[in-house]
Chain A
Amino acid sequence: MIEKIKETVKKLFKENKIDIFIGYSEGTLPLRSTPCFITRSEDIEKLVWNSYCSNNLAVYLPRFFVSQRGAKDAKLPRIGILAKGCDGRSIVGLIKEHQIPRENIYIIGIHCGGMINTKKIKKVDIVAAEEKNDKVLVEDEDKKKVELKKEELLADMCKTCQYTAPAVYDILLGKEKQKTKKEDREAFIKEFEKKPLEERWEYFQEQISKCIRCNACRQACPNCYCKECFAEQAKPRWIGPTNDISDVMFYQIGRIFHQAGRCVDCGACVRACPMGVDLRVFTYKLIKDVKEFFEYEAGVSLEEAPPLATFKQDDKQEFITEP
């Protein structure tokens, strides 16, 4: 697979179709790949493709264009990007929200078999790792090798992922992956909804009290491209600079709510969080509601209008208070 990717990227550079390519290269730690920006064909050899390419690369795209916006002689780079299903959906979102021009992005779509959540590996002293088919071999300091099943290490979002390849691409590599089992993707949300009100509040409070407002979740999210986030706005100042939990709650409700109809469940926010805040149980609620109320799924079509930028005459309104 990686050879195919390299070949494609080589060709793109040779035919002068792109100025920069965003993919993954080997990370500094085992079980990690790191985003990599290639501008010369000599560097193509650095590229890797494995089960640790978790980062959502779409997050890097808007910043290539933001400085050129409104410029008279705007110089727009042509960017090639490797896109798993979720990256691809984020790219679609960014195109729809006019953050990146479609014609400047060359999307190399790839059928993704799911990424590993390294936190699921209980061993701490891993010095090397190797991937073989559906197994991961990890080696610890004493050179002891342990074989782990990839399936058991998959990230939660990958386990129930429905769009393993992007819907919009210029070229699609790899073989179609087996769709995840019919397992109910929303089961964990339904379960949470069933809990009594106070229990839900307890959980929300417990999670938010872990948050140190480092903003890593926001920085990792491809949809959070705002030049000035509400969190830093001073006029009006939405959030006080205190560590009172209500300020932290305001931040999280705001950030999560801003993802309504845009979140693709890529898990970048969850991975970025240093405090282990369970963000997904909240972000996914909005995915579920948007689908249920407005029959909309983020990032699967370029044509459909974003759900909060449009309406239907007969939209749900049972929640309206009647006398």
Chain B
Amino acid sequence: MKNDNNWEPKIVTFLCNWCSYAGADLAGVSRLQYPPNIRVIRVPCSGRVNPFYIIKVLQNGIDGVLVSGCHPGDCHYISGNLVARRKFALLKSFLEYIGIEPGRVQFSWVSAAEGGRFVDIIEKVTSEIKKLGPSKKLSKWQKEAEYIKEILK
């Protein structure tokens, strides 16, 4: 599918209810355009994002993941994002260590007032993941998919 010129990545975003989701909402009501590649999953807090969600998303054949929460200090639950930051730092480093492309899994801070920043981040993340091409490494039935592609050529 990579050689397919109009391939578009699918990106799952986990947005925290209080900041990033509201930021995305603001971008929407302000009629700001951003790439339609993202699928939004609203979570109560970036601290709610189990690292397994991220791996599961990649396993299901999604091309990239963005987790976004409140800026440090602004968390609705005071420190959810700070605990999450530690988890994400380790997870990102570990995934890169085993050979997952650095841009696949990203994290950001976007407040409820930053509609513009939300758009900028989505644009950046989307273009980075587009450059990486379809995600294959952790996705399921990859060998079978390649085999079928091969025999149907």
Contacts and interface: CB of A to CB of B under 8 A. Distances in A.
A73 B40 CA distance: 50
A250 interface: yes
Given A317-B72, A321-B125, A253 B97 contact: no
Interface string B110-153: 00000001001101110000000000011111110000000000
Interface string A223-259: 0000000100000001010101111011001101100
B94 A286 contact: yes
B111 to A, nearest CB: 13
User: How big is chain B's contact interface, by range?
Assistant: 35 or more
B76 interface: no
B86 A246 contact: no
A254 B55 contact: yes
B42 interface: no
Contact of A285 (B97, B99, B125, B138): B97
B52 A238 contact: yes
A312 B85 CA distance: 10
Interface stretch (A7-15, A163-171, A289-297): A289-297
B59 interface: yes
Nearest to A193: B97
A192 interface: yes
Contacts of B82: 311-313, 315
Given A202-B99, A204-B99, A230-B52, A321 B107 contact: yes
A47 interface: no
A321 B86 contact: no
Contacts of A250: 52, 55-56, 59, 138
B107 A320 contact: yes
User: How big is chain A's contact interface, by range?
Assistant: 35 or more
A274 B89 CA distance: 32
Contacts of B138: 246, 249-250
B88 interface: yes
A201 B124 CA distance: 25
Nearest to A258: B51
Contacts of B79: 311
Contacts of A310: 83
A71 interface: no
A253 B55 contact: yes
A311 B86 contact: yes
Interface in A269-302: 282, 285-286, 289-290, 293-294
Contacts of A199: 99
A280 to B, nearest CB: 13
Contact of B94 (A197, A247, A285, A320): A285
B94 A289 contact: yes
A311 B89 CA distance: 12
Contacts of A294: 86
A193 B62 CA distance: 26
B26 interface: no
Interface centre among A203, A260, A308, A311 (most CB of B within 10 A): A311
A190 B22 CA distance: 41
Nearest to B69: A320
B18 interface: no
A245 B98 contact: no
Nearest to A233: B52
B120 A323 contact: yes
27 contacts: A198-B99, A199-B99, A201-B137, A204-B98, A205-B99, A242-B140, A245-B143, A246-B59, A250-B52, A250-B55, A253-B55, A253-B95, A285-B94, A286-B90, A289-B94, A293-B89, A308-B83, A311-B85, A312-B82, A313-B72, A315-B82, A317-B89, A320-B107, A320-B109, A321-B124, A323-B123, A323-B124
Interface of A: 192-193, 197-205, 230, 238, 240, 242, 244-247, 249-250, 253-254, 256-257, 260, 282, 285-286, 289-290, 293-294, 307-313, 315-317, 319-323
Given A316-B89, A317-B72, A319-B88, 13 more contacts: A197-B96, A238-B56, A254-B55, A257-B94, A260-B90, A285-B97, A290-B90, A310-B83, A311-B86, A320-B85, A321-B66, A321-B124, A323-B121
